[in-house]
Amino acid sequence: MDGTGHLSDVYGDAIDWNAIWAGRKRRHIANPGYREGGGFFQQKENVERFYPKEILPNPRVERQLFQLEPPVGASVLDIGAGPGNLAIPLAQRGCRVVAVEPAAPMREALARNAAGARVEIEVVPSAWEDLDPCELGGPFDRVIASFSLTMVDIRTALAKMHAACSGEVHLYWFLTPPPWGYVLQGLWPEIHGAEYHFEPMAGCLFNVLLQMGIIPVFEPEFAGGEHRYGTLEETVNEFAHRVNRRKGTHDDVIRAGIRRLFRQEGDGTWVLDYPSWKAHIWWSARDQAVSEGVRPVF
């Protein structure tokens, strides 16, 4: 113990998990040829390629809505709302939704989908890092960041989420590298001449919260072990965009990588056998306060 009754000395208070997150995030951004996260979806063709034209029933979204359990009339802040996968069904359930979305093509898709669903969503065209939560009309009953944690200084971002919330904060993030990240790791050296570095994972995020004095609920979720794609050329085209190769180059490298990493089904589709996990991390902002003095690190 450290004399205050905390576990900081026992479990290594010298470890700065926010710095570890930032270092891994910067290393990820420094990947040669990097164009992911917000930058990836600043391009309209990528939004249209990787998201449907309209919000459709989705088992993952239905599970998230069940986990959020917002009462009718609840106020919801959706950070990195994208095309509205959560924002629109939440609005349809009677919630007041404020969507923070920095990418213009995503906002265009969100506006189109909201109009199609006949719901109103307040859209804030900004990155979370550049916002003052006091300007958003909160506090909010639910604050959500679903696979949108692109921030380098994650501690500050989380503290702002906590401050904006009067109910529960819900985060969704990768517990293990996603399937497409595994494929990029196999393709990147041949295309960009360097190893591909993943983003920091949910375990690091959990430790940042602990060092903030927040004890969250941590729920691992199996994301599947079999990931299906289309024909060989459709799969090549998808990963050509993800790997950010110059148009018309390296298709043979990508094709060979898919043949090496995937297996072909009898119907001509390609399957990646790769078990992956995600994490749902949440806490009640009513019951916990950010405290500089509580730093249990496990």
pLDDT tens column, 239-267: 888 888 777 788 999 999 999 999 999 99
pLDDT tens figures, 155-167: 999 999 999 999 9
Is 291 part of any domain? no
Number of domains in the chain: 1
Q: Is the dihedral of CA 19, 289, 175, 101 positive or negative?
A: negative
Strands (E), 60-193: 75-79, 96-100, 122-124, 140-146, 165-174
Mean per-residue pLDDT over the chain, rounded: 86
**CATH number for the domain including 67?**
3.40.50.150
Q: Rounded CA gap, 114 and 55, in Å? A: 9
- Whether 153 maps to a domain, the answer reads yes
Which residues, in sequence order, are CB contacts of 107 under 8 Å at separation 6+?
101, 123, 125
Q: What is the three-class DSSP state of 217?
A: strand
Token readout for 147 is: 């696979």
CA 105-276-55 angle, 5° bins: 35
Q: Which domain holds residue 208?
A: 8-177+195-224+279-284
Distance CA(58)–CA(35), nearest Å, equals 27
pLDDT at 249 (0 to 100): 81
**Could you tell me if residue 15 is inside a domain?**
yes
Can you give the pLDDT at residue 292? 55
Judged by DSSP in three states, 256 sits in helix
pLDDT at 99: 97
Weakest-pLDDT range from 48-52, 171-175, 238-242: 48-52
Q: Is the pLDDT of residue 51 over 80?
A: no
Determine, yes or no, domain membership for 295.
no
Residue 218 within any structural domain of the chain: yes
Q: Is residue 269 part of a domain?
A: no
Query: What is the mean pLDDT of the segment spanning 215-235?
Result: 93
Which pLDDT score is estimated for 246? 75
Q: Is residue 81 part of a domain?
A: yes
- If pLDDT is split at 50, 70 and 90, which confidence band does 280 have? very high
User: pLDDT per residue over 130-151, tens digit each?
Assistant: 999 888 998 999 999 999 999 9
**How many other CB atoms are there within 10 angstroms of residue 97's CB atom?**
29
Instruction: State the average pLDDT over residues 122-136.
Output: 93
Please check the confidence at residue 8 and state whether its pLDDT lies above 80. Answer: no
* 207 token code pair: 């430790």
Determine the pLDDT at residue 12. Answer: 47
In a domain, 111, yes or no: yes
pLDDT > 90? residue 179: yes
Q: What DSSP designation does 249 have? A: S
